[in-house]
Amino acid sequence: MKLFAIAASVAALSGAALAAGMQTQPTSTTSAAAMPSSDMTVVSGSSAVKWGPGSPAFPAGMKMAVMTGDPASTGFISIRAKVPAGYKVPPHFHPTDEHVTVLSGTMAFGMGDTIDPKTEKTAGPGGYFVAQAQMHHYAVAKTASTIQIDLNGPFGITYVNSADDPRNKK
């Protein structure tokens, strides 16, 4: 019991110190306002996101917005995608790791060369999915959804079954 009381006191003091530190932020010689605008990208709200048609590398019906980076170049890339309920990205893989965050709606993600509802995992807002480079995976929108995809470029996608690749359809 005495050990618990000591631990609680230490936690309380640590919390108070952290709170005090949060109230007194160190000053910086370079404020955000003083930084050249080319050094930062700021989107003030979801209405400021510029949506366009999805990439031809994905099935029709997707809307996309490049948040930062150039999908054709090296470096960090962040892309958002809006998809309708029932939208599917058939089994595929990428040359680099892909990190997906569900911003709204419900998505199902699965591993393997075929879509298998028995083994896929669903994720709602705040859900996170990682597909390592070359990992065969797929995605299915259970409801209309918005996701964010973060990766190191250049972006690339290879479908497990080339007949699923929209770029091969005439």
pLDDT tens, 93-124? 999 999 999 999 999 999 999 999 999 999 99
Average pLDDT over residues 146-156: 97
Q: How many residues does the chain have?
A: 170
**Do 67 and 148 contact (CB within 8 A), yes or no?**
yes
pLDDT digit string (tens) for 32-66? 444 444 555 666 677 788 999 999 999 999 999 99
pLDDT for the residue 55: 94
Six-digit token string for 5: 């009381």
Query: 25: pLDDT confidence band, cut at 50, 70 and 90?
Result: very low
23 burial type by CB count under 10 A (0-12 exposed, 13-18 middle, 19+ buried): exposed
Contacts of 105 (CB under 8 A, 6+ apart): 85, 124, 125, 141, 142, 143, 144, 145, 146
Q: Does 91 have pLDDT greater than 90?
A: yes
Residue percentage of the chain with pLDDT more than 70:
74
pLDDT for the residue 46: 76
pLDDT for the residue 47: 79
Whether the link from the prior residue into 154 is cis, omega within 30° of 0, is: yes
